[in-house]
């Protein structure tokens, strides 16, 4: 446990320092100045050089000498002889950007480290008490104080190198005639008192330029530099998310100029196969604007031939171009309800690389031959020129293949045979995946409907139909086929991998499953075992909960140059080939594939660096995009539920602690919590072994998996949380309040008489 450290004066500093070990020592004043100079110096410094260099810092020679003595004592600085000083080889110093948690602690991903040491594999954890004056987004110099056996490091901030951005988005409010802005990002633990600048209305989202201080403060001065708009509007939320996650949202003039100069597709050359006579079609959602994949299918003597044609983004985006550099920095498109931050400029994403009907488009086509049972017999890959014949939506495909509506089938009669064949192959592919042990989660997601004013009008579960499954199976097949080629040729390539769950998490999941009354087979850490449990849960009310917990127990999928397989898909090798419009890794995969097609040896480098470095960066960009998308969904859910405080909903308990029950509103895909203090009918204790709370007096229990009716108490728009109470408790409270109100009215009437 670290003690909270306040800035001491000279006379009491030794009293504070005796509570810190030498490894946790954080320099102050003159010591910090001297240490920073030595950190930035390229060679050992003699005293005379230090005196001269630090004269501008108004440090006396005696102060420099005292600082050096203390730094040497703390093993941060080495002394060569008596007058040459440099960083100690065991100082373990490094610099990076601080990412702070709202609870105060933080993490630093080191960009560089002193003394030629290798960087830690994981971000360095900084306890709240050892962050000092640094804030989220600041560039800091840290000292690693320990590294555990799991490779996780812990550190202390020894110096602030530079402040982060000087603008923050927040919500404007007036209090007693004073303008205040509360940061939208809870990682900034202060309020801004604004004066001057632009004027805003109560509740507006605004952008503030603030003036920081050298010490931590709860209130900082600033001025409004932009009024974003009403805080409950979708575009205001979008801008708040952009600012919170520093998402690139504007293309440079160079990238836009390059996009404008790109040519329209012409006739095929010798390196491109003309497939315009093949009846391709696309299947997407109603609101989709970019169509990066098209399919064509037919029956053969051996079974089926499937063509998966993907927009040839690599033809238009050359390595090192302005478009390419900006796409890499984005890493992926970021999708929000009715809005998108694209990876590529609009001319590419929505025009040249969008496989719209009745237009010639450049593509990369995977030709996949399957037998009648969906087994891949052989594959071939070509640069191609295609012409989509029709754009289908998921809804239309559902009406044709599932509902079999006569009028819709008649309208699309020329495509019926293709669609029926596609249905047959998709079901065969799905069956083979399940047989080999792939986990089928099939988790619903929230779907938002906005009104004409950009506010949430309705929210419901998205529906996943046969049409979604059909497209998904074909894309999975194409991705596996490309990865199989890379693996067989043993070429340097980017893979999409998913490793087995941590054994400890897997065993905890097994114990939990048994508390729900399920009787799974003996545990084996294999995808087939998890698939069996998910399948078994479909027969009772626990399917949603089990699928969620399986996801939590598993590791995150990511990109790497090392093929270790995909656990969830039960695939020996897998990559992402099918969406180069919106995922930069797919663009790299296309470049590797096209090198093989052209007879070239793919490079093991990207931009002069090992391919693995690009894989790590792109995995991080993907995680950031997913987090931003979830943040937007949470905002819209809170906005929607804020008007439903007091309403009652069916819920399932998804987690239990000694202070709260965590619940899921499955119909709305919402999460929330019930504080244990709201359970007023008994004194509840946590039975961690059985994942439940139980009452000491009446023995009532609340167990994970139980269903109950809950009433919404509050929608916390700051922390994006929903607070509930059991409906019976709410009813009792309402009845009590009604009784009190009636008695008060009766007493008042008596007094009036």
- 662: its two tokens: 């965590």
How many domains does the structure of the chain reveal?
Answer: 5
* 360: in domain: yes
Residues 323 and 174 in one domain: no
Both 189 and 149 in one domain: the answer is: no
- How far apart CA 421 and CA 306 sit, in angstroms, is 10
- What is the C-alpha separation between 730 and 675, in angstroms, rounded? 13
Whether residue 578 is contained in a domain is answered as: yes
**Do 542 and 460 lie in a common domain?**
no
The reported pLDDT for the residue numbered 113 is: 59
For residues 340 and 555, what is the distance between their CA atoms, to the nearest angstrom? Answer: 27
The pLDDT score that the predictor gives to residue 26 is 67
Whichever domain contains 190, its CATH number is 2.40.50
- Whether residues 572 and 618 fall in one domain: yes
* Residue 240 in domain: no
Query: Do 341 and 429 fall within a single domain?
Result: yes
What CATH number is associated with residue 54? 2.40.50.140
pLDDT of residue 12: 35
In the chain, which stretches have pLDDT less than 50?
Answer: 1-20, 22, 115-116, 733, 735-753
CA dist., res. 378 & res. 401, Å (int): 28
Strand partners, 219: 191
* Confidence at residue 747, expressed as pLDDT on a 0 to 100 scale: 43
Across the strands, what pairs with 260?
none
Q: Which residues pair with 147 in a beta bridge?
A: 153
Residues 652 and 697 in one domain: yes
Q: Indicate whether 264 and 381 sit together in one domain.
A: yes
How many CB atoms within 10 Å of residue 350? Answer: 17
Q: Which residues contact 75 (CB under 8 A, 6 or more apart)?
A: 22, 88, 90, 91
pLDDT at 6: 38
Torsion angle of the four alpha carbons 546, 552, 553, 557, in this order, in degrees rounded to the nearest 10? 120
Do 625 and 480 lie in one domain? The reply is: yes
Residue 688 domain-assigned (yes or no): yes
Indicate the average pLDDT of the chain.
Answer: 89
pLDDT at 425: 98
* Residue 637 tokens, joined: 């859910």
Closest by Cα among 619, 622, 621, 588 to 605: 588
Give the end of a domain, one of 136, 162, 188.
162
435/469 same-domain check: yes
* Phi, psi values for residue 632, rounded to 5°: -65, -45
Contact partners, residue 698, CB within 8 Å, separation at least 6 = 681, 682
**Separation CA 384–CA 402 (nearest Å):** 32
Does any domain span residue 639?
no
Say how far apart CA 672 and CA 665 lie, in whole Å: 8
Q: 3-class secondary structure for 158-213?
A: EEEEECCCCEEEEEEEEECCEEEEEECCCCCCCEEEEEEECCCCCCEEEEEEECCC
Beta carbons of 2 and 127 less than 8 angstroms apart:
yes
Domain span at residue 48? 13-162
Residue 256, phi then psi, degrees to nearest 5 = -65, -35
- Cα separation of 196 and 230, whole Å? 20
Helix/strand/coil percent split, the chain, to 5:
35, 30, 35
Confidence at residue 380, expressed as pLDDT on a 0 to 100 scale: 98
Same domain, 519 and 449: no
Q: Which of 381, 454, 511, 399 is nearest to 639 (CA)?
A: 454
**Helix (H) or strand (E) segment spanning residue 495:** strand 495-497
Q: Give domain status of residue 656, yes or no.
A: yes
- Point out the domain boundary residue: 231, 262, 284: 231
Tell how many helices (H) and how many strands (E) occur in the chain. Answer: 19, 35
Paired sense of beta strands 692-695 and 293-299, if any: unpaired
How do 219-230 and 721-726 pair as beta strands? unpaired
pTM of the model: 0.88
Q: Are residues 39 and 182 in the same domain?
A: no
Residue 84, in any domain of the structure:
yes
**361 shares a domain with 290:** yes
4 domain-assigned: no
């Amino acid at each position: 446990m670290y003690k909270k450290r306040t800035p001491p004066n000279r006379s009491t500093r030794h009293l504070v320092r005796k509570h810190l070990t030498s490894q946790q020592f954080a320099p102050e004043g003159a010591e910090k100045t001297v240490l920073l100079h030595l950190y930035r110096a390229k060679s050992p410094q003699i005293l005379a050089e230090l005196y001269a260099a630090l004269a501008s810092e108004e440090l006396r020679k005696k102060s420099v000498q005292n600082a050096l003595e203390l730094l040497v004592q703390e093993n941060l600085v080495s002394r060569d002889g008596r007058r040459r000083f440099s960083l100690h080889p065991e100082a373990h110093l490094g610099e990076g950007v601080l990412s702070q948690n709202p609870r105060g602690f933080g993490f630093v991903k080191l960009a560089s480290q002193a003394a030629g040491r290798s960087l830690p594999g994981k971000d360095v954890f900084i306890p709240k008490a050892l962050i000092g004056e640094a804030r989220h987004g600041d560039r800091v110099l840290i000292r690693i104080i320990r590294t555990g056996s799991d490779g996780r490091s812990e550190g202390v901030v020894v110096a602030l190198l530079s402040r982060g951005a000087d603008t923050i988005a927040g919500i404007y409010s007036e209090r007693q005639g004073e303008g205040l802005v509360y940061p939208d990002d809870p990682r900034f633990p202060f309020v801004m008192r604004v004066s001057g600048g632009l004027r805003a209305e109560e509740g507006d989202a605004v952008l503030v330029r603030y003036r920081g201080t050298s010490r931590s403060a709860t209130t900082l001065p600033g001025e409004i530099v932009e009024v974003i708009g009403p805080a409950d509007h979708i575009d205001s939320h979008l801008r708040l998310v952009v600012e919170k996650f520093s998402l690139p949202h504007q293309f440079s003039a160079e990238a836009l100029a390059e996009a404008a100069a790109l040519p329209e597709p012409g006739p095929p050359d010798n390196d491109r196969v003309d497939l315009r006579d093949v009846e391709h079609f696309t299947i997407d959602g109603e609101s989709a604007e970019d169509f990066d994949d098209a399919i064509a299918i037919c029956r053969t003597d051996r079974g089926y031939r499937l063509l998966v044609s993907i927009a040839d983004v690599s033809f238009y985006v050359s390595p090192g171009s302005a478009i390419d550099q900006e796409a890499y920095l984005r890493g992926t498109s970021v999708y929000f309800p009715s809005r998108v931050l694209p990876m590529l400029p609009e001319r590419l994403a929505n025009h040249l690389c969008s496989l719209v009907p009745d237009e010639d488009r450049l593509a990369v086509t995977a030709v996949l031959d399957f037998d009648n049972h969906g087994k891949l017999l052989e594959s071939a890959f070509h640069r191609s020129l295609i012409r989509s014949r029709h754009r289908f939506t998921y809804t239309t495909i559902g009406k044709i293949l599932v509902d079999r509506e006569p009028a819709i089938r008649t309208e699309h009669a020329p495509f019926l045979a293709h669609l029926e064949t596609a249905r047959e192959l998709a079901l065969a592919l799905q069956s083979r995946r399940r047989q080999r042990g792939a986990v089928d989660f099939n988790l619903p997601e929230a779907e938002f409907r906005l009104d004409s004013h950009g506010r949430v009008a309705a929210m419901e579960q998205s529906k996943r139909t046969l049409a979604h499954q059909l497209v998904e199976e074909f894309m999975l097949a194409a991705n596996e086929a490309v990865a199989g080629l890379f693996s067989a040729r043993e070429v340097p390539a980017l893979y999409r991998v998913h490793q087995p769950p941590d054994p400890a998490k897997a065993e905890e999941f097994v114990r939990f499953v048994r508390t729900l009354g399920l009787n799974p087979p003996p545990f084996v850490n294999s995808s087939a075992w998890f698939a069996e449990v998910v399948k078994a849960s479909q027969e009772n009310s626990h399917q949603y909960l089990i699928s969620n917990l399986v996801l939590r127990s598993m590791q995150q999928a990511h990109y790497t140059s090392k093929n270790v397989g995909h656990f969830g898909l039960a695939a020996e090798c897998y990559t992402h080939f099918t969406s180069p419009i919106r995922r930069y890794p797919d663009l790299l995969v296309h470049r590797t594939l096209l090198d093989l097609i052209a007879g070239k040896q793919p490079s093991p480098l990207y931009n002069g660096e090992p391919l693995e470095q690009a894989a790590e960066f792109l995995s991080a960009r993907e995680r950031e995009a997913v987090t931003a998308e979830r943040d937007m969904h949470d905002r819209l859910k809170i906005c929607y539920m804020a008007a439903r405080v007091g309403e009652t909903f069916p819920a399932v308990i998804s987690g239990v602690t000694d202070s709260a029950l965590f619940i899921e509103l499955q119909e709305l895909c919402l999460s929330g919590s019930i504080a244990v203090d709201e359970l007023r009918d008994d004194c509840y204790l946590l039975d961690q072994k059985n994942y439940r709370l139980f009452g000491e007096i009446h023995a009532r229990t609340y167990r994970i998996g139980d269903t109950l009716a809950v009433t919404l108490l509050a929608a916390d728009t700051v922390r994006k949380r929903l607070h509930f109470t059991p409906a019976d408790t709410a009813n009792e409270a309402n009845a009590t309040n009604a009784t009190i109100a009636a008695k008060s009215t009766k007493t008042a009437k008596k007094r009036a008489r």
